[in-house]
Amino acid sequence: MSFTRLLNHEHDSELIRIAKDCDAGKRISNRDGLYLYEKASLGFVGALANLLNERRHQKNVFFNRNFHIEPTNLCVYTCSFCSYSRLLKQQDEGWALEIDQIISKLQAYDGIPVTEVHITGGVIPKQDFIFYETLFNRIRQHRPDIHIKALTPVELFYIFKKAKLSTAEGLQRLADAGLGSMPGGGAEIFDETLRTEIAGGKCSSAYWLETHETWHQMGKHSNATMLYGHIETFEQRIDHMDRLRQLQDKTGGFQAFIPLKFRNKDNAMAHVAEVSVIEDLRNYAISRIYLDNIPHIKAYWAMIGRKTAQLALQFGANDIDGTIDDTTKIYSMAGAEEQHPKMSTDELVNLIKALGRTPVERDTLYGIVKTYT
């Protein structure tokens, strides 16, 4: 569908204006973003997001060969939405890996052409700054070709405070040890009142943003997330994306935005119903329309499932994450469709090609490894 056809099918003057602004390369306002959530049809936001995505990325859909290592699911924090973590007193229900055990997991991929290891997990005293500095050095020594994407501001806040390091000092030392980029986790929702309610005790919204800003100022890149579909309002979603958009204007360091769907299995918010696939797709589309300065919107298939991820690729998303190889439990423990998230390169390629799109294997920093024509 072209912009002309989209406008011809729409009768709401505000939506027509928003689409014309997007076509002209103008940034939509917070009010416009809220209007899209409240008034626009799924078809409208989907078509508009797809047009904007294809203008930027043509038919390309990105993925990489990656795996996760989760050092622990024990945690000092008690987030209401989390089904993954266990308190320190529940150690019989969790794990806390030693560095040698983590290196053993890495060694299982010797000779396999993975390009990224993604390391996040719970927060516990024994896995402190020295633990991670040593770990990254060991990973780099064993496999210097692999990109280490690791640790969210939630983990960094704890280990830097315990080590009496400033954020800048801690990040520089971890970068020197081999840290290549930061994932987008721990953002949850930035509204301070709501954040306190569902993620009390975690680092503040300001610290999350300041940590990524410091990282970007070092010439490094990271991702950003938003946990949606729980008790937040549309206004709070827009506020969250607005803070990301403002920081991106300042640093240009965010590579991708990943909407993370709230899952309600076995957590303190199990009484909150999950939103529908329709709402998932609306949120992907509006994210693409609003976040005009973040290059990539990622449909994390391990969380939303392969079929919904395919749909999201037609609603503004242009990245589907990676092979994963059944190495993460964060979302499967919360009831995600993919209980054993694993896809081969061929499966990812075929999933993308089924939509008439072009699969592009990338590295973590979006360097092109191979285009599958």
Same-domain status, 26 and 172: no
In the prediction, which pLDDT does 332 show? Answer: 46
Contact 344, 372 (CB under 8 A): no
Q: What is the pLDDT of residues 270-323, one digit of tens each?
A: 788 888 999 999 999 999 999 999 999 999 988 899 999 999 999 999 999 998
Same-domain status, 68 and 183: yes
In the prediction, which pLDDT does 91 show? Answer: 54
SS3 of 96, please? strand
Same-domain status, 297 and 364: yes
Q: What is the pLDDT of residues 157-175, one digit of tens each?
A: 999 999 999 999 999 999 9
Same-domain status, 205 and 304: yes
Q: Which CA distances in Å does 129 have to 156, 173, 224?
A: 8, 10, 23
In the prediction, which pLDDT does 337 show? Answer: 55
Same-domain status, 43 and 138: no
Domain span at residue 35?
3-47
Mean pLDDT score of the chain: 91
Q: What is the pLDDT of residues 238-281, one digit of tens each?
A: 999 999 999 999 999 999 999 999 887 766 677 888 889 999 99
Contact 208, 177 (CB under 8 A): no
Q: In the structure encoding, which two tokens stand for residue 134, read together?
A: 């040593």
| Helix, strand, coil shares, percent, the chain, to 5 | 45, 15, 40
As a whole number of angstroms, the distance between CA 166 and CA 172 comes to 10
As a whole number of angstroms, the distance between CA 187 and CA 237 comes to 12
The residue count for the chain = 373
With tokens 């633990």, the residue in question is 131
Same-domain status, 172 and 29: no
Same-domain status, 24 and 109: no
List residues bridging with 228 in a β-sheet: 261
CATH of the domain at 284: 3.20.20.70
Q: What is the pLDDT of residues 87-100, one digit of tens each?
A: 544 556 677 899 99
Give the burial class of 223: count Cβ atoms within 10 A of its Cβ; 0-12 exposed, 13-18 middle, 19 or more buried: buried
Picking from 326, 337, 330, the residue whose alpha carbon sits closest to that of residue 304 is: 337
Same-domain status, 193 and 109: yes
The amino acid at 284: Y
Q: What is the pLDDT of residues 67-86, one digit of tens each?
A: 999 999 888 777 666 655 55
